[in-house]
């Protein structure tokens, strides 16, 4: 199944531009997606091996990826790798690094561009896999794949820039320059919520900079990772350079992180898991020669401030889309709306009316705006927070499991929430929005910053002075004015947060690839050699 977009095919790709999204209102695009959904459903239940050192490996114990809309459907069957296999993977990746780091930058970049072309051709199919495996609506799935294409294109251009010798201040009598060199073996631990974009973005950042990568996807989303890694092989990346590794995080995953030959870990996921990785990576193991580098993105408790001078209708739309897009399962999702008391009642009435129009159900049906949450454990946890929230505020709409056997939860709005309430402070990662009243802009900013996280935020106001204040005082890595707080685009909105939201890694920005490189300065005295 192919997309209608025309890919670029040469190494000289021109200026970067973001991938356009597919318009599913067009009959031809809708039919193509329906065809892709049928095609992909026919591939359910296949088994996918580990790939370690370029070799396919199977195990006795298996992991099943299921469809959260229809939990009886098995998307794919995967291997449960052991601690010993983790050690083998690191050793094999270290061996492959010695060759891959010497491959010219232009050749590594060409692999990314070819991968982007393949993603173009298979776009509808990949959208369909995301719909089934993680419960994304058609537009949400397509945005995920579009972002992955953007990462391939953007990081390719960035590596061409960084691959050149970097100019330094001239020194009389010397020839000096600085160059960037790769780190070594990287462990890539992506989340399930952006199962294509974040997984692929971290992986290609590691390999285009000359490192080797062991990709350990979430057990909720291994299929799209297996498919993407096959695309990298098809694009010319040697099989030894990228390993595909599935298994329990508490044993095999920890073995990857703690191995003395692991050089860096790129992780996106929960605060608790990220802190655990940071702690493990900080402990030098016998035979370890370096301080391990960690690139961590660990979630958020994101707020949108709605000022009395805001366009209320625009704010309602922005909050609703930010809170309930992909069932609120984005680290950037709005989970706190902090609203001026002067417009609070008007805003709340319009918000509830808007949210009640959001249809929930299986995402193969494009009329459903919201699909399922990722698994049964998530559903249980979210419903527990809703129960707690009803004690801490006023339930305005939603609050229940819906839709039969799938993991569906109604979009839920809880009003009059105190700033110290659990649902105001703790990351829920589901379709639950806490709405809180602020007496003025000072209190609104204070509430917005009253969090251990600092990832995204937004302010709706038409007062330029308040916008300027927010720019200075709202402590988040990605701040948006008069627009929703989700939907960061590669190149336009480098993404990463402060505090417990992670290491502010700024994926999709000019600094990001530097996290996978180290700088080496070379100075030569002129005339000293013959």
Q: What is the pLDDT of residues 133-188, one digit of tens each?
A: 999 999 999 999 999 999 999 999 999 999 999 999 999 999 999 999 999 999 99
DSSP of 180-216, one letter per residue? EEE--EEEEE--STTTTHHHHHHHHHHHHTT-EEEE-
In a 10 Å sphere around its CB, with 0-12 CB exposed, 13-18 middle and 19+ buried, how is residue 263 labelled?
buried
Q: To which CATH superfamily is domain 41-298+505-519 assigned?
A: Aldehyde Dehydrogenase; Chain A, domain 1 (3.40.605.10)
Low-confidence ranges of the chain (pLDDT < 50): 1-10
- Active-site residues, by number, are 297, 331
Longest dimension (CA), the chain: 82
Task: Supply 70's token pair.
Answer: 């229809």
Distance CA 467, CA 446 (A): 15
pLDDT of res. 202: 98
CA dihedral 494, 258, 293, 429 (to 10 degrees): 20
Kindly give, in sequence order, each residue whose CB lies less than 8 Å from that of residue 466, ignoring residues fewer than 6 positions away.
Answer: 307, 309, 441, 459
Which residues of the chain form CATH 3.40.309.10? 302-489
Is the domain spanning 302-489 CATH 3.40.50.300? The answer is no
Which residues of the chain form CATH 3.40.605.10? 41-298+505-519
Q: What is the pLDDT of residues 112-136, one digit of tens each?
A: 999 999 999 999 999 999 999 999 9
pLDDT of res. 11: 57
- What does residue 212 show for φ and ψ, rounded to 5 degrees? -100, 155
* Contact (CB, 8 A) for 207 and 53: no
Distance CA 455, CA 445 (A): 15
Distance CA 284, CA 443 (A): 45
pLDDT of res. 4: 39
Q: What is the rounded average pLDDT for all residues in the chain? A: 96
Q: Taking Cα atoms as reference points, which of 136, 226, 127, 241 lies closest to residue 184? A: 241
pLDDT of res. 33: 98
* 233 to 2, 51, 112, 228: CA distances (angstroms): 19, 11, 11, 9
Task: Supply 7's token pair.
Answer: 């890919």
Dihedral angle sign, alpha carbons of residues 278, 62, 137, 383: negative
Kindly give, in sequence order, each residue whose CB lies less than 8 Å from that of residue 355, ignoring residues fewer than 6 positions away.
Answer: 320, 324, 397, 398, 411, 413
Task: Supply 33's token pair.
Answer: 């997606």
């Amino acid at each position: 199944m192919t997309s209608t977009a025309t890919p670029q095919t040469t190494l000289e790709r021109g200026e970067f531009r973001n991938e356009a999204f597919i318009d599913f209102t067009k009959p031809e695009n809708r039919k193509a997606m329906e065809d892709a959904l049928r095609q992909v459903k026919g591939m359910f239940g296949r088994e996918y091996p580990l790939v370690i050192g370029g070799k396919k490996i199977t195990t006795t114990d298996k992991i099943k990826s299921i469809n959260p809309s229809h939990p009886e459907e098995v998307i794919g069957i995967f291997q449960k790798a052991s601690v010993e296999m983790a050690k083998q993977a690191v050793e094999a990746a270290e061996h492959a690094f010695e060759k891959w780091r010497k491959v010219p930058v232009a050749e590594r970049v060409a692999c990314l561009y070819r991968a982007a072309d393949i993603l173009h051709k298979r776009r509808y199919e990949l959208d369909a896999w995301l719909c089934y495996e993680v419960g994304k609506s058609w537009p949400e799935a397509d945005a995920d794949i579009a972002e992955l294409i953007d990462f391939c294109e953007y990081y390719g251009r960035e590596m061409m820039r960084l691959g050149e010798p970097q100019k330094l201040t001239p020194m009389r009598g010397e020839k000096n320059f600085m160059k960037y060199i790769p780190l070594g073996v990287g462990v890539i631990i992506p989340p399930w919520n952006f199962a294509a974009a974040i997984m692929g973005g971290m992986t290609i950042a590691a390999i285009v900079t000359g490192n080797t990568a062991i990709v350990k996807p979430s057990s909720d989303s291994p299929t799209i990772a297996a498919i993407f890694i096959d695309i990298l092989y098809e694009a010319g990346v040697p099989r030894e350079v990228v390993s595909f590794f599935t298994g329990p995080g508490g044993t095999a995953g920890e073995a990857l992180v703690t191995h003395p030959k692991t050089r860096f870990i790129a992780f996106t996921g929960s605060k608790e898991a990220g802190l655990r990785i940071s702690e493990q990576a900080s402990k030098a193991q016998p035979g370890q020669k370096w301080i391990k580098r960690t690139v961590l993105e660990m979630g958020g408790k994101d707020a949108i401030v709605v000022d009395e001078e805001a366009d209320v209708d625009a704010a309602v739309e922005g909050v609703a889309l930010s809170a309930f897009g992909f069932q609120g399962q984005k680290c950037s999702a709005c989970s706190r709306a902090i609203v001026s008391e002067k417009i609070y009642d008007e805003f709340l009435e319009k918000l509830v009316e808007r949210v009640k129009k959001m249809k929930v159900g299986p995402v193969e049906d494009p009329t459903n705006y919201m699909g399922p949450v990722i698994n049964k454990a998530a559903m249980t946890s979210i419903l527990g927070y809703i129960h707690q929230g009803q004690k801490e505020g006023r339930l305005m709409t939603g609050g229940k499991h819906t839709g039969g056997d799938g993991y569906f939860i109604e979009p839920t709005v809880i009003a009059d929430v105190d700033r110290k309430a659990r649902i105001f402070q703790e990351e829920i990662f589901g379709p639950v929005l806490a709405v809180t009243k602020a007496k003025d802009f000072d209190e609104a900013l204070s509430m917005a910053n009253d969090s251990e996280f600092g990832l995204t935020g937004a302010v709706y106001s038409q007062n330029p002075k308040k916008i300027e204040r927010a720019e200075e005082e709202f402590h988040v890595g990605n701040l948006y004015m008069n627009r929703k707080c989700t939907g960061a685009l590669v190149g336009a909105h480098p993404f990463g947060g402060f505090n417990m939201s992670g290491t502010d890694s700024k994926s999709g920005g000019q600094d990001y690839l530097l996290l996978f490189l180290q700088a080496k300065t070379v100075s030569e005295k002129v005339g000293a050699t013959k």
